[in-house]
């Protein structure tokens, strides 16, 4: 079952198994009431509406590859739909794909959460990081929620835990930086097992694929800087910045540094800067 949110778009592709040169192909879909659905064909309007007919795109005519991209108008109404590609062959015979059965898709409501609590709330940001945009997705919802659950239980999200039913994070994630850190950690965990590369070589040419090292390093850098925020651009702490300016361990040579001014006393110490205006 292909899922899409209301007003969303998804690309549907199929190989019809016939040379489509010179032929046009339609994508036909109809709303379905699952309680009364039968196997008589997509042309039965089981929900009381009408068949929707759209012109499909022939991507590769000789191989029979076609596609249709569901538009926001197609997915405006929630519910379950059944679809088929149809065309008239060169012999004048109406052809259907699939020949038996349907392409099923489900349009669901989606409201952007103000807080992220259910594990399924994290599926979209993780897919965005992984570039997993096209249905059928590379990673199913069950796989993504399993990774989120494991990441939290392994301490990758400090201050958060998993509820007793294993389906939610507690407390809810409200801060964008926490959402980002959890999502990046999950993307890192998903990418790890696929890092293995392969290559082959002949006298004339060679190829190598499967390596995503650059992406992995980028993820690890992002995670590092999110877990270790810097006070100043190139320094991990104010302490390190002061030492770099003096060229010596200032904090080891003096207890505190006071700057007198007409209106305030500024005290610089290992705890930071304190200003006293009394």
Residue 221 has pLDDT above 60, yes or no: yes
CA 7 from chain center: how many Å?
18
Neighbours of 268 (CB within 10 A): 17
pLDDT, average across residues 86-114: 82
Question: Which residue would you say has higher pLDDT here, 87 or 232?
Answer: 87
List pLDDT tens digits, range 18-65. 889 999 999 999 888 655 444 444 444 434 446 789 999 999 999 999
Please tell me the predicted confidence (pLDDT) of residue 225.
67
Residues 79, 85, 88, 94, CA torsion sign = negative
Please tell me the predicted confidence (pLDDT) of residue 46.
39
List pLDDT tens digits, range 142-156. 889 999 999 899 888
pTM of structure = 0.43
Domain assignments of the chain as residue spans, ordered by start? 2-108, 116-194, 238-276
Question: Which residue would you say has higher pLDDT here, 184 or 258?
Answer: 184
Question: Considering only the top CATH level, what class is 2-108?
Answer: mainly beta
Question: 200 falls in which pLDDT band (50, 70, 90)?
Answer: low
Please give the full DSSP string across 160-171, using - where no structure is assigned: -EE-TTSSEEEE
Distance CA 63, CA 15 (A): 7
Residues 6 or more apart whose CB falls under 8 angstroms from that of 125 comprise 179, 180, 183
Helix axes 176-191, 141-153, angle to 10 degrees: 110
Residue 125 has pLDDT above 50, yes or no: yes
Distance CA 177, CA 118 (A): 17
């Amino acid at each position: 079952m292909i899922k899409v949110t209301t007003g969303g778009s998804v690309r549907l592709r199929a190989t019809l198994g016939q040379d489509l040169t010179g032929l046009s192909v339609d994508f036909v879909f109809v709303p379905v009431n699952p309680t009364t659905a039968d196997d008589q064909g997509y042309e039965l309007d089981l929900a009381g509406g009408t068949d929707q007919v759209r012109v499909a795109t022939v991507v590769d005519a000789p191989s029979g590859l076609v596609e249709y991209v569901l538009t926001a108008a197609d997915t405006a109404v929630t519910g379950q739909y059944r679809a088929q590609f149809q065309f008239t062959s060169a012999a004048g015979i109406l052809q259907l794909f699939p020949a038996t059965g349907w392409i099923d898709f489900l349009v669901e409501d989606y409201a952007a959460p103000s807080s992220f609590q259910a594990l399924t709330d994290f599926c979209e940001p993780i897919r965005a990081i992984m570039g997993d945009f096209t249905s059928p997705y590379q990673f199913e919802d069950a796989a993504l929620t399993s990774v989120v659950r494991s990441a939290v239980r392994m301490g990758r999200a400090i201050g958060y835990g998993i509820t007793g039913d294993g389906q939610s994070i507690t407390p809810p994630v409200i801060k964008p930086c926490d959402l980002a850190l959890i999502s990046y950690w999950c993307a890192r965990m998903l990418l790890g097992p696929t890092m293995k590369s392969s290559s082959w070589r002949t006298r004339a040419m060679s190829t190598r694929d499967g390596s995503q090292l650059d992406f992995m390093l980028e993820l690890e850098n992002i995670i590092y800087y999110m877990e270790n925020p810097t006070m100043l651009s190139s320094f991990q702490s104010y302490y390190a910045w002061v030492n770099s300016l003096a060229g010596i361990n200032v904090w080891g040579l003096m207890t505190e540094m006071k700057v007198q001014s007409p209106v305030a006393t500024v005290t610089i110490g290992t705890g930071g800067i304190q200003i006293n205006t009394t």
